[in-house]
Amino acid sequence: MLRRLGLRVVALGYLLVILLAPLAVIFYRTFEHGLEPVWAALSDPLTIHAFEVTLIATAIAVPLNTVFGVLCALAIVRRRFRGKGLLNAFIDLPLALSPVVVGLALYLLYDRTGWFGGWFTEHGIQVLFALPAIVLATIFVSVPFVAREVIPTLRELGNEQEQAAATLGATRWQRFWRITLPSIRWAVIYGVVLTTARCLGEYGAVAVVSGRVQGKTETATLRVEDYVVNFQTSGAYAIAVVLAAIAVVVLVLMTLIKPQEETA
Amino acid sequence: MSIEICNVSKRFGTFTALDDVSLEIPEGSLTAVLGPSGSGKSTLLRIVAGLERPDSGEVLLSGKDATGVAPQRRDVGFVFQHYAAFKHMTVRDNVAFALTIRKRPKQEIRERVDELLELVQLQGFADRYPSRLSGGQRQRMALARALAAKPRVLLLDEPFGALDARVRAELRDWLRRLHEEVRVTTVFVTHDQEEAMEVADRVAVLDHGHLEQVGAPADLYDAPASEFVLRFVGDAVRLGSRLVRPQEITLRRWPDDGAVEVEIERIAVLGADARVDLADGNGVRLTARLRRDELEDLDLGRGEIVWASAEPLRGLAADTSAGDAEAGQALG
């Protein structure tokens, strides 16, 4: 009894100090002087634009990485092919690489003298220090999450249900939409949530390739730093709170919906 | 629909699942494919369904080559050992699946599903999820689902294997009656010889990817084509150089031509029958099954010496090495 209690205290205490304390202090400092400065910071056109840039990058990266993640998971679990182990390892690359390295790699690739950069420059498309680079960096860092969530679920699912559907007359496409996808939907949703969170929070890679021009290529996280550097802490807190609030709301929603389904 | 399996072979890596198997299954029959685990029986069924492709050989459905046809075009119903229930759908949606994807009118689907649920005695369970059904109920649901689109062949892969003995016996009876009612060509795979003999009108025995024998249950028992069949279908004991059924053994108090001298080790009375444990001069143990009145006429006791013989017609010569597929093949 005492040992179980001890374990609980340690686990909770750890989470409290490491996770909750910083979150609490952000909320506290943000609303310390009331809502006025928060509102001022959030309604600043530059802040609104920064959120827009972040949302655009997220809105492109999440659907792409969801489709890619599900396809990758299907290939890795269901198919046999050469280089499968390599694919499986490569998916995790963005988790292993520091985002700054990712940013640098993209920089080298899309720079005027880079492998891809030359072609884009010839065709008059600005990639670096513009929205395309922000989107690319966001996609890169958020690749693994959907696949990582879906792969174990697919393994556990097996393929008997799909075979049963096949004998019942379902085409490959019908099997995917009616059997596979509904069976892995919670893993996909969880993956999407994690991907979204990663996209919204991306800082390092975007910092390198965006050029961080206020009102043009500045994302929400870059805007936070901007405020901090300029000693406008209330602005930084306000944006940080919005980002944190989104994360908290999403997590709470997840835990509220998920268990009911599991027991059904 | 008749099924013809012609010279089908299938390997998985270095393992030979099926080796040149040919089998004809007539229209409307109820056939059991019987064999121990690893004999290739499930693989054979999955090849008929199109879930596996043979390395060589052909599968003909209604006389037409179906070897390369995708499972969804074969018009077969398949029932899996572990039910393969669609967990995210209610019982009604599970059973309706084949009709829903064929875009049949809602009213028609509803009526057909109700009819099927009644057939499998799951009327009250339409709105439940499979996780809230027992094993037997799930398997009945799977059967209803497989029958929904009126397949021309029903294939069942160890359908009762995961169920407890009582439910299994119930479902066997029920499958037998269902077949009499629906008359669809049915093939089921089992490792349980009693189940095969009880339910099927024809039994095909497989061992190590070889087809050992096909015939009516009584034929397999009375005239096994190989030592494997003899051993696998019913009990078998070694008497001298032959394998015989325990109930074929006759005991006498005097020597006889070809009779083997044995000592009685134990007598156990089991209702109308009695089991007599014997040991021959070399210490080889065997069992005889006698009727109680036979036993009483002989007035036998423990430790006595008697002579055991068996009708030479039925038993197979057992001079090849003990109980393996080679012996079966040579004789089959």
CATH 3.40.50.300 in chain B, residue ranges = 3-227
Tally of residues, chain A: 264
Q: Is A215 an 8 Å CB contact of chain B? A: no
Collapsing DSSP states into helix, strand and coil, what is residue B80?
coil
Q: What is the pLDDT of residue A94?
A: 92
Q: Is the pLDDT of residue B238 over 50?
A: yes
Write down all domains in chain A, each with its CATH number in brackets: 33-263 (1.10.3720.10)
- CATH fold for the domain made of B3-227: Rossmann fold (3.40.50)
Query: Cβ contacts (< 8 Å) between B78 and chain A: which residues?
Result: 163-164, 167
Collapsing DSSP states into helix, strand and coil, what is residue A163?
helix
User: Which of A167, A177, A178, A260 is the mutation pick for testing B, counting most B CBs within 10 A?
Assistant: A167
CATH 2.40.50.100 in chain B, residue ranges = 235-331
Segment A123-132 shows an average pLDDT of 90
In the structure, what pLDDT confidence band is assigned to residue A1 with cuts at 50, 70 and 90? low
Q: Is the pLDDT of residue B171 over 90?
A: no
Q: Looking at the partner chain, which of A163, A168, A179 has a beta carbon nearest the beta carbon of B145? A: A168
> Which pTM value belongs to this model?
0.81
Percent of chain A scoring above 90 in pLDDT: 58
Nearest Cα residue to B157 out of B245, B242, B254, B35: B35
Cα separation, B39 vs B208, whole angstroms: 4
| pLDDT tens sequence across B5-43 | 999 999 999 999 999 999 999 999 999 999 999 899 999
| pLDDT tens sequence across A134-145 | 999 999 999 999
User: Which of B97, B102, B187 is the mutation pick for testing A, counting most A CBs within 10 A?
Assistant: B97
Q: What are the distances in angstroms from CA A250 to CA A123, A192, A194, A199, A236?
A: 41, 11, 9, 14, 22
* B235-331 is a CATH 2.40.50.100 domain: yes
Closest alpha carbon within chain B to A185 = B88
Angle at B279 between CA B273 and CA B284, to 5 degrees: 120
Please report the ipTM that was assigned to this predicted complex: 0.81
Q: Is the pLDDT of residue A68 over 50?
A: yes
Q: What is the pLDDT of residue B318?
A: 45
Cβ–Cβ below 8 Å for A182 and B88 = yes
